[in-house]
Amino acid sequence: MSKAADIVLVGGSAGSYHLIVDIIESLPPFFSSALVVVIHRNPKFKTRLEDTLSTRLHRPIIQAGDKTAISPNMIYFAMPGYHLLIEPDRTFSLDISDPIQFSRPSIDVLFESAAEVYGSRCTALLLSGANRDGTDGMTAIREMGGKAMVQCPEDAQISTMPENAIRVNDGIDIISDQQIISYFRNLK
């Protein structure tokens, strides 16, 4: 299977669930990037988020599997209970090392490893949450020439996560929920 040249990442925690659903529903039927979503959720509860959305939208939405290719026009979710990383050959890789910022999967871990592999062809969006996961990941993406965007704290249900990312990353793009949806509606 061919591999995507561009990757778009979305990281969310508490209060980001509904916006993530809206984002996925707004996507065009075809886009050439790969979209990877990491959302903090309890591995003990089997949320069938992927299956529910997949049935509703009539398109595959899958958990990113170990050593599988990152393909265009695909929507992946990070599995609960594992960190998700990206290999230089553009495949996914899982890791069960300790949680980071109390989180596994950690947004930082995915963002940092995607930044390294995709460089300027990496775009990331950080959403609502009650901790400080994602901030270091945003820094890494900017350092490697990628594009980093943060949900406007006023729009976020819980603003801690976006606020922290904004405080540490001077001049980072801050976008409203409306802009977020229009960005994904026009995803290439």
* Residue ranges binding another protein (CB under 8 A): 65-67, 79, 82-83, 85-88, 93-98, 109, 113, 116-117, 136
Cβ proximity to another protein, 66 vs 173, nearer residue: 66
Is residue 45 classed exposed, middle or buried when 0-12, 13-18 and 19+ CB atoms within 10 A define those classes? exposed
Q: Catalytic pick from 16, 33, 40, 113? A: 40
CA dihedral 185, 159, 79, 34 (to 10 degrees): 30
* Torsions phi, psi for 61 (to 5 deg): -130, 115
Cβ proximity to another protein, 95 vs 177, nearer residue: 95
Tell the smallest beta-carbon distance from residue 185 to another protein (Å).
31
- Farthest-apart Cα atoms in the chain, separation: 41
Which two structure tokens, joined as six digits, stand for 55?
């049935």
Cβ proximity to another protein, 28 vs 145, nearer residue: 145
Q: Catalytic pick from 6, 108, 133, 155? A: 133
13 counts as catalytic: yes
Tell the smallest beta-carbon distance from residue 91 to another protein (Å).
9
40 counts as catalytic: yes
Question: What are the b/e assignments for 59-86, b being 16+ CB within 10 Å?
Answer: eebebbeeeeebebbbbbbbbbebbbbb
Chain centroid to Cα 80, Å, comes to 14
Tell the smallest beta-carbon distance from residue 176 to another protein (Å).
29
Cβ proximity to another protein, 5 vs 168, nearer residue: 168
133 counts as catalytic: yes
What amino acid positions are annotated as catalytic residues? 13, 40, 133
